[in-house]
Amino acid sequence: MRFASLGSGSEGNGLLIESTDGLRVTRVLIDCGFSLSDTERRLRAAGVEPDSLDAVLVTHEHSDHVGGVFRLSAAHGVPVFLTHGTLLGSGKVSGGATLTLIDPLHTFEAGGFSIEPVAVPHDAREPVQYVIADGRVRLGVLTDIGHGTAHVQRAYSGLDALVLECNHDSRMLADNRRYPEMLKRRISGPYGHLSNQASADILASLDRSRLRTVVAAHLSRKNNTEDLARAALAGVLQSEAEAIAVADQDTGLHWLEV
């Protein structure tokens, strides 16, 4: 299995996951918060044709995650998997999109992947994150979550790779004079986004005996830095900060093997 980010942040998100079993190649995209043309450009930059995707998995209805999903599905015949709440919260759905509703409590199959949705606390209708397995390794994707839970700890233990939100540095957010207090409370609240320290605390709570790859994702341009995010996670892993990869907004992250 390998994965690559098309871009990660409040301006658009998309994570590619690919696995090969003999002649069979499975590719899924988690979220698509870009325009159709931008999505096609980013996919092809990663060496993937849009119509080769087996599925798009949606985490929640915020525009930076769902904005391009339905147009991508309609244009290239890619099936979309999402919760009922996410569908209701998404508003108008492009004609021609192929939709399958999922239960946050039940694992399902897409191509050669076993996909476990994980319900998370976030300010959306029925948000989930995902753990993806191909029979050999497990990759967890955990962004857009306000705080850790026992359910999250169980689901994300025993992973081989983890993409983990490090949205903001608490001090930088508190000192940001351009953000109104209401927005600061939303971001830092229990249904908002993870601070670097909160991300480190979740990471520390997991069974990391198989964990080899950690990627910091969904960093705020205005309230965080790559160095601060890396340092927080490296402290838990007892590794060099440079060992932590970062998925950024503009260029995402090149393919990493799990």
Q: Give me the chain's average pLDDT, please.
A: 97
DSSP state of 241: G
pTM of the model: 0.97
Instruction: Give residue 133's pLDDT band: very low, low, confident or very high (50, 70, 90).
Output: very high
Instruction: Give residue 92's pLDDT band: very low, low, confident or very high (50, 70, 90).
Output: confident
- pLDDT at position 3: 98
Walk me through the domains of the chain, giving residue ranges and CATH numbers. Answer: 2-253 (3.60.15.10)
Residue 142 has pLDDT above 90, yes or no: yes
Beta bridge partners of 116: 131
CB-based burial label for 226 (10 Å; 0-12, 13-18, 19+): middle
The predicted model gives 129-142 an average pLDDT of 98
- Residue 218 · residue 11 · CB < 8 Å: no
Residue 94 has pLDDT above 80, yes or no: no
For the segment 5-18, what is each residue's pLDDT rounded down to a tens digit?
Answer: 999 999 999 999 99
Q: Give the Å distances, CA to CA, from 66 to 37, 38, 75.
A: 15, 14, 15
- pLDDT at position 201: 98
For the segment 18-69, what is each residue's pLDDT rounded down to a tens digit?
Answer: 999 988 999 999 999 999 999 999 999 999 999 999 999 999 999 999 999 9
Beta bridge partners of 15: 5, 30
Instruction: Give residue 255's pLDDT band: very low, low, confident or very high (50, 70, 90).
Output: very high
Token pair of 22 as six digits? 């003999």
Percent of the chain with pLDDT over 90: 97
For the segment 211-251, what is each residue's pLDDT rounded down to a tens digit?
Answer: 999 999 999 999 999 999 999 999 999 999 999 999 999 99
Residue 196 has pLDDT above 80, yes or no: yes
Torsion angle of alpha carbons 41, 242, 1, 56, nearest 10°? -40
Residue 93 has pLDDT above 90, yes or no: no
- pLDDT at position 95: 85
The predicted model gives 168-181 an average pLDDT of 98
